[in-house]
Amino acid sequence: MAGWYRLDERRNALCIDVHLQPNARSSEIAGLHGTALKVRVAAPPLDQRANAALIGLLADRLGVAPSRLRIARGMKGRSKTVEVGEPDDEVLRRVQALLA
């Protein structure tokens, strides 16, 4: 597995390390930032709007409901860990394809 995501079999969750850039021109996956997936969102960091935009973008790209994703670490900072609950083989395939 790549360094920016890992499967936590004990909790049955896929953990994705994210570096979030709010107030971007558009919402997109922008490659890697060190050992984290760099995600740009157009939403501002006010009232958790950037976090909601991050969850929405990742849910769309991974083909899962937003309710299956949660920010496990970094609610107020740019460095975050997002967890996908109960990932199946399709979610694992899609997370690998995020940078392809």
Q: Could you read off the pLDDT of 51-85 as tens digits, one per residue?
A: 999 999 999 999 999 999 999 999 999 999 999 99
Mean pLDDT of 12-31: 98
Pick the closest to residue 59 from 12, 89, 26, 16 (CA basis): 16
Which pLDDT value is given to residue 1? Answer: 58
Q: Could you read off the pLDDT of 27-55 as tens digits, one per residue?
A: 999 999 999 999 999 999 999 999 999 99
Q: Which residues contact 66 (CB under 8 A, 6 or more apart)?
A: 55, 56, 59
CA distance 53 to 56: 5
CA distance 99 to 30: 8
Place of tokens 């004990």: 10
3-state secondary structure of 20: strand
Which pLDDT value is given to residue 100? Answer: 81
